[in-house]
Structure 1
Amino acid sequence: MPTKRTALTGPITLLSLGHACVDVYQGAVAALVPFYVSERSYTYAAASGIVLAVSLLSSVVQPLFGALTDKWAMPWLLPVSTLVGGSGVALAGVSGSYALTLAVVALSGIGIAAYHPESARMARTASRGSHTAMGWFSLGGNLGFATAPLLVAAVVATGGLRASPLLVVPALAGAALCVAALRAVEAVPAVPAAPRVSGTAGGGDRDDRDDWASFMKLTGAIVCRSIVFVGLSAFISLFVRQRTGGGEAAGTAALFVLYLGGAVGTVTGGKLATRHGRLPVVRWSYALTVLAVAGVVLVPGPLLYVFVALTSAGLYVPFSLHVTLAQDYLPRRVGTASGVTLGLAVSIGGVASPLIGAVADATSLRTALAPLIALPALGWFLLRTLNEPEMPDAGPRRPAATPHPPAARDACVKSFQHDDQG
């Protein structure tokens, strides 16, 4: 009989690996930008328009999928959306037509949008409220981002952009992992929803636990984080080549550092939150990001890589904490919360990419990236007044008049601490 720890870590591991296979394609779009510039002579604005295509579709569609998963469980979306997301990117280098390239990348964006709300809902079920477990789930996506520049560089090296169909391989693996994850999650009891409160003046049920004001402030902060992340993702490779005098390898290495630092940051964020609380960790991360982005923009030479790594940590430490905070601010709308925090608020940063590209075409990349320094400070300002949301119950409520005996209470505490370490 599997232990409780195995019951949690098995599904989370499968979901994390599947998440990696999907988010390869979010990272791949940005990783393709330098090759569109070099092989097809796209301007910065035109190349960033491709990032906009995937971001805009994902931004609009993902909250819709989140709302749908609040009403109906749609586990079949995981393997199907993984295949759709991978197919779009795999076709992104086949045709020289700019319009067709935009279309297939947009298709990929729809697949990515469909995947995240349902996968986050399932990860919440499998994690049983553990910040660390949700950190591991988010880690998978970050590893996918980190792998994307290396995978794209290796594929394009074999035959240019026309070799892009080889990029479908992670999608095939991801679909198989999603099917296995669905079977594993079925064995994990769902986190019960909080009881509805009735008796409002207008009659019917009233939802007292959805804190929309706090959720919107959190969303605003995530949008600030998104613009910084997407802007750097689209242009850091080209920027580092200019600032260091290196070639394609130097640019790819910078993008890899930007993504890989997130793998460490996400897991670290979950552990720090367990010890210090989610909001203090999130606020300090945004403060760190202000200084780190300033270093990226202003510091020349190889030292720039250090600030890229610090920026990555500052952007990613709060990543999984954003998701759990949003879900706890909207406990009755977990799919919507996940769709906004993993979709709309994250991918909307792509909307700013063409503006950054246009400024870069008119002036310089350094001038275009400089405004990104101020955005984490704005995010910190939005976060400073937030309070920790009430945690949803991990199990059925017990009557207030029959509290746990001391021994049973201590056993429950030890069990929760053990789960959170898993």
Structure 2
Amino acid sequence: MATNSDARTGPITLLSLGHGCVDVYQGAVAALVPFLVTERAYTYAAASGVVLAASLLSSVVQPMFGALTDRWAMPWLLPVSTLAGGAGVALAGVSGSYALTLAVIAISGIGVAAYHPEAARVARDASRGSHTAMGWFSLGGNLGFAAAPPMVAAVIATGGLRASPLLIVPALAGAVLCAAALRGVAASAAAEPGAVRVSRAGAMDDWPSFARLSGAIVCRSIVFVGLSAFISLYVRERTGGGAASGTAALFVLYLGGAVGTVTGGALATRHGRLSVVRWSYALTVLAVAGVVLVPGPALYAFVALTSAGLYVPFSLHVTLGQDYLPRRVGVAGGVTLGLTVSIGGIASPFIGAVADVTSLQTALAPLIALPVLGWLLVRPLREPAMLEAAPA
């Protein structure tokens, strides 16, 4: 017989695993870039355009899905959007057409966009607003990011870009996990009819604070997406290594996020969310400077430090955003998990264009300043007012 604890933790575990299967496809787009450059002779600007295709439509539609999920529960979006996200990436290598590649990658981006607002809402309800539980939910996504480079490398290095249909497998698994998680959430509600949940009645939305937080996340996103798109190629240049050295750097960038996300939830419980967020942005300034300026194998240490600095506040951004907009949790999730994250991809073509006429090091250097701006934006923020608990 399942205990009450099992009824609570089971759905979060399944949601975390499903989140990982979805975010594989966010990491897979960047992981495909070196293979597109090598096999199709894309320029840096053309390759970054693929990253933009995954981000642009996603940036626009994600808040729209958030607004819809604030009005109506749409749990069916979780398995459907997971399949859409996987299908787009799986079709990316089927045709040599640049236009078709952009189109299917855009479909993948829309699938990922549709997933996150509803998933964040379901996870918030399943976790009862726990920072630690939301950290585990975010961890799943980070592990998906980390799994993308070796997964893509294993598939594409073996069969070339035309082997990309094999990349649909995580989406199939994710759809099954999402369906199981939704059943678990329903079972949890039935098992604990007297549970408490956060009440949004009478709560006020704090749009100015949410706007400052969103601006900081945009700064974080540009750094992360810019490094994701080019760190593999950059490390090859700086270390003189081959494809494996670049894939290893991208893996470190993503895997460090898994450690950072869990650490962020624990640190926030002890020191407060905003204090942890501010220190993370300060750390990221030094870490990104090391990535850009330090040569040789030491680069990997700074990549890991950058990953930690970018990911420690990741789940805290989500819960802060939801608490600043308690009446619009779906919109908050759509923006913090989607719009502000995806919009970083818009900067990628500019980085690629600068790299084409100068060098990757010169193109990546401005990323050092963005965590400074993020720190300035979050510095005056105050912890959202605690909301009342009401019977579920």
| Aligned residue number for residue 199 of structure 2 | 193
| Aligned residue number for residue 286 of structure 1 | 281
**Which among 251, 266, 291 is matched to residue 271 of structure 1?**
266
Question: Aligned-pair distance for 1:192?
Answer: 4.4
Checking the alignment, whether the CA contact within 8 Å between 1:193 and 1:332 is kept in structure 2 is no
Deviations 1:37-56 (A, max 9, x none): 00000000000000000100
| Aligned residue number for residue 372 of structure 2 | 377
Counterparts of residues 140-289 of structure 1 (less than 5 Å): 140-189=140-189, 191-196=197-202, 209-289=204-284
Deviations 1:298-344 (A, max 9, x none): 00000000000000000000000000000000001000000000000
What SS is found at the alignment partner of 1:125?
helix
Deviations 1:226-249 (A, max 9, x none): 000000000000000000000000
What is the letter of the counterpart of residue 165 of structure 2?
A: P
**Which among 317, 327, 336 is matched to residue 312 of structure 2?**
317
Unaligned runs of 5+ in 1: 197-207, 398-422
What is the letter of the counterpart of residue 154 of structure 1?
A: A
What TM-score does the superposition give when structure 1 sets the normalisation length?
Answer: 0.90
What TM-score does the superposition give when structure 2 sets the normalisation length?
Answer: 0.97
What is the letter of the counterpart of residue 76 of structure 1?
A: W
What SS is found at the alignment partner of 1:302?
helix
Deviations 1:198-254 (A, max 9, x none): xxxxxxxxxx51000000000000000000000000000000000000000000000
Counterparts of residues 8-27 of structure 1 (less than 5 Å): 8-27=8-27
Q: Alignment identity in percent?
A: 82
Unaligned runs of 5+ in 2: 190-195
| Aligned residue number for residue 109 of structure 2 | 109
Checking the alignment, whether the CA contact within 8 Å between 2:128 and 2:198 is kept in structure 1 is no
Flag the structure with larger Rg: 1
Aligned counterparts of 1:348 and 1:391: Cα–Cα separation in 2: 30
| Aligned residue number for residue 52 of structure 2 | 52
Checking the alignment, whether the CA contact within 8 Å between 2:199 and 2:389 is kept in structure 1 is no
Checking the alignment, whether the CA contact within 8 Å between 1:215 and 1:329 is kept in structure 2 is yes
Question: Aligned-pair distance for 1:9?
Answer: 1.1
What SS is found at the alignment partner of 2:390?
coil
Checking the alignment, whether the CA contact within 8 Å between 1:59 and 1:344 is kept in structure 2 is yes
- The structure richer in helix per residue is 2
Checking the alignment, whether the CA contact within 8 Å between 1:27 and 1:148 is kept in structure 2 is yes
| Aligned residue number for residue 135 of structure 1 | 135
What SS is found at the alignment partner of 1:303?
helix
Aligned counterparts of 2:389 and 2:170: Cα–Cα separation in 1: 35
Checking the alignment, whether the CA contact within 8 Å between 1:129 and 1:394 is kept in structure 2 is no
Q: Which runs of 4+ in 1 moved over 6 A?
A: none
Measured on the aligned residues, the alpha-carbon RMSD in Å equals: 1.1
Checking the alignment, whether the CA contact within 8 Å between 1:30 and 1:233 is kept in structure 2 is yes
What SS is found at the alignment partner of 1:104?
helix
| Aligned residue number for residue 296 of structure 1 | 291
Question: Aligned-pair distance for 1:396?
Answer: 4.0
Deviations 1:344-387 (A, max 9, x none): 00010000000000000010000000000000000000000000
| Aligned residue number for residue 39 of structure 1 | 39
Question: Aligned-pair distance for 1:393?
Answer: 2.7
